[in-house]
Amino acid sequence: MSSERGFTLIEAVIFIVIVGIAVTGMLLMFSKSAENSHSPLIRQKAIAVASAYMDEILGKRWDENTPLGGGCVITGAGNCSSNWITATSYAIGNIVVPTSSNGHKYRVLVAGVSGGSEPAWPTDGSSLTDGTVTWEDLGDHTATSNCGASPSNCGPDGENRSTYDDLDDFNGLTDNPPQYPDSAAADGDSPMPGYNGFNIQVSVTAQVWQGVPANDVRRIVVTVTTPMSENFELTAYRLNL
């Protein structure tokens, strides 16, 4: 005759305790997963808005006097172009600056050889003959920003967001929520939809980089703080070229 044996009360209690612990752990894991399920989306939005700001900034000129299409402006760090040299052959399109800078650049209109002494350089946009070379005055190419090597001086020159035209204008910009330039708005910008709780801070400073003097370098940092208090930072450098 076979005997049948079931669970004892102690075994049943132990089983219930073990199952309870396992279920509690699984519920905690599920709760944590559900709590953080929105994190990747928020981080992607943070990176997207940081990139949008950086693209906008990098699309501006290095300085207000930077020629359209790019080109160097004259700063305290250098003249960006070769100094004029006596008795030298110049081709059409060559650009020089006077040996004693007057803030203007001069381009060759007619090729030839420069004279034995430096000419009196005009500053009214006219041309001049120097030996057999004809030069045209390209105008004042002195950097107009007062940023220089002092980060605290960088900032807008009286414009609003929709009329920012050079990198320095963005220094110190803080938006909460993020904004996009809007010429129809009184203050030049409007809130980006879907970004409530995000904060943007922009820093544009003069800084030595790879041996290039601070006067000719701008370091741009865009920092995004998410509603979860996470910070995301994009950094770029622009040179006076």
Taking the CB of residue 65, how many other CB atoms lie within 10 A of it? 18
Indicate if 174 and 91 belong to the same structural domain. no
Residue that is last in its domain, among 125, 140, 155: 140
Strand-pair category, 89-90 with 112-113: antiparallel
Measured CA to CA, the distance from residue 140 to residue 103 in angstroms comes to 5
Q: Per the domain annotation, does 106 fall within a domain?
A: yes
Indicate if 235 and 175 belong to the same structural domain. yes
Residue that is last in its domain, among 117, 140, 163: 140
What pLDDT is recorded for position 38?
A: 58
Residue pair 135/115 in contact (Cβ under 8 Å)? The answer is no
Q: Per the domain annotation, does 195 fall within a domain?
A: yes
Residue that is last in its domain, among 97, 116, 140: 140
Per the structure, the complete domain to which residue 225 belongs is given by: 59-66+145-239
Indicate if 94 and 165 belong to the same structural domain. no
Indicate if 175 and 110 belong to the same structural domain. no
User: DSSP label at 74?
Assistant: B
User: DSSP label at 87?
Assistant: T
Please count the structural domains in the chain: 2
Q: Per the domain annotation, does 105 fall within a domain?
A: yes
Indicate if 164 and 214 belong to the same structural domain. yes
What pLDDT is recorded for position 64?
A: 83
Task: Spell out the residues 6+ positions from residue 44 whose beta carbon is closer than 8 angstroms to its own.
Answer: none
Q: Per the domain annotation, does 4 fall within a domain?
A: no
What pLDDT is recorded for position 67?
A: 80
Confidence category of residue 153, pLDDT binned at 50, 70, 90: low
What pLDDT is recorded for position 36?
A: 55
59, pLDDT greater than 90: yes
Say which residue, 237 or 102, is predicted with more confidence.
237
Q: Per the domain annotation, does 154 fall within a domain?
A: yes
Indicate if 158 and 120 belong to the same structural domain. no
142 phi and psi, to 5 degrees? -80, 135
170 phi and psi, to 5 degrees? -85, -10
Query: Is the entire prediction scored with pTM above 0.95?
Result: no
What pLDDT is recorded for position 212?
A: 87
Measured CA to CA, the distance from residue 170 to residue 199 in angstroms comes to 15
What pLDDT is recorded for position 180?
A: 95
Indicate if 199 and 182 belong to the same structural domain. yes
Indicate if 230 and 155 belong to the same structural domain. yes
Indicate if 221 and 153 belong to the same structural domain. yes
Q: Please report the DSSP string for 131-189 in residue order.
A: TTEEEEEEEE-B---S-TT-GGG-S-SS--GGG--BGGGGTT-EESS-EEE-TTSTTSE
Q: Per the domain annotation, does 31 fall within a domain?
A: no
Indicate if 99 and 149 belong to the same structural domain. no
Strand-pair category, 104-110 with 95-97: antiparallel
What pLDDT is recorded for position 35?
A: 55
Indicate if 215 and 151 belong to the same structural domain. yes
Q: Per the domain annotation, does 3 fall within a domain?
A: no
Q: Per the domain annotation, does 162 fall within a domain?
A: yes
CA Rg value for the chain: 32
Sign of CA dihedral 45, 47, 49, 55: negative
What pLDDT is recorded for position 80?
A: 75
